């Protein structure tokens, strides 16, 4: 992901908290990978309330 779109920025907080609403993101692997790519962006800062959101681990 070279840079996020306005849609990425608008959707991430809702999707990040989906499990609190009873939605299991494990059944959506493409969404999980999108979230990981988004959170690896250099200037990504989680919003208050998004934690404890599991941040992706560094990959070599």
Mean pLDDT, 10 residues at a time, the chain of 60 residues: 85 86 89 87 80 57
pLDDT of residue 7: 92
pLDDT of residue 41: 87
pLDDT of residue 30: 92
Distances (CA, A) of 60 to 4, 27, 28, 57: 23, 26, 25, 10
Residue located via tokens 């299991």:
24
pLDDT of residue 55: 58
């Amino acid at each position: 992901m070279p840079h996020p779109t306005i849609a990425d920025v608008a959707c991430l907080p809702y999707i990040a908290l989906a499990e609190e609403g009873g939605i299991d993101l494990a059944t959506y692997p493409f969404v999980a990978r999108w979230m990981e790519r988004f959170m690896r962006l250099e200037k990504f800062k989680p919003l208050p309330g998004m934690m404890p959101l599991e941040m992706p681990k560094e990959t070599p």
